[in-house]
Amino acid sequence: MKNSWMKWCVLPVAALAAGTVAMAQEQPAQQQDPTIQQRKENQQDRVAGGVKDGQLTPGETSRLETKEAAINAETKADRAANGGKLTPAEKARVTRQQNHVSKQIYADKHNASTAHYGNNEVDSRRQNQQARIGQGIKSGQMTAGEAAKAENQQRGINQQVRADRAANGGRLTAGEKAQVNREQNRASRNIYNKKHNARTQVGTKPKK
């Protein structure tokens, strides 16, 4: 009887703990005392997830990755000036900056702007490019700066497609489709080059 009473006491506690974890996962990432590198990797994983599932548009991703690139550059400069280390004040500043980006990632992934893809060749190509960029961010093959440039290129293509469709009753002419295909071919080569060059996120080995 005693064991049975203990079992029913433990279950509510376990359920409460599970609920707390689930709620924490829904909030912007605010780890207690992560290292700078751990925090950066976590942010990149969240961005990659948003790109993959369409929660982040190319424009949103480009802005986020531009901010990440700026933080990375600042951190690199600070470390170079201090024998490879960050001072307590510099660590605190980077943490504040990453907190700001973390909130922006959460807001962008939960707003009304999402990537929409139709069942056609042009949109399938767009979706495939996004998947490749997301994988490059996730694996570390693309730096934040490279991802920002790749997504900015996709944003430009998307804007052109949207304008052409608006001018033609929701369709693209054969000439416009060919133009988009040429632009995506260039974008595809850029993505490949960025994923296979010597520049990677810190801690990632270049892919040969």
Which residue's entry shows tokens 């600042």?
Answer: 74
In this prediction the pTM is 0.76
Residue 73 CB neighbours (<10 A): 12
Residuewise pLDDT in 10s, the chain (208 residues): 545 444 444 444 444 444 444 434 444 444 434 588 899 999 999 999 999 999 999 999 999 999 999 999 999 999 999 999 999 999 999 999 999 999 999 999 999 999 888 889 999 999 999 999 999 999 999 999 999 999 999 999 999 999 999 999 999 999 999 999 999 999 999 999 999 999 998 766 554 4
Residue 103 CB neighbours (<10 A): 14
DSSP 8-class letter at 85: -
Compute the distance between CA of residue 5 and CA of residue 2 in angstroms, rounded to an integer. Answer: 5
Compute the distance between CA of residue 82 and CA of residue 88 in angstroms, rounded to an integer. Answer: 12
Chain centroid offset of residue 197 CA: 20
Compute the distance between CA of residue 51 and CA of residue 105 in angstroms, rounded to an integer. Answer: 11
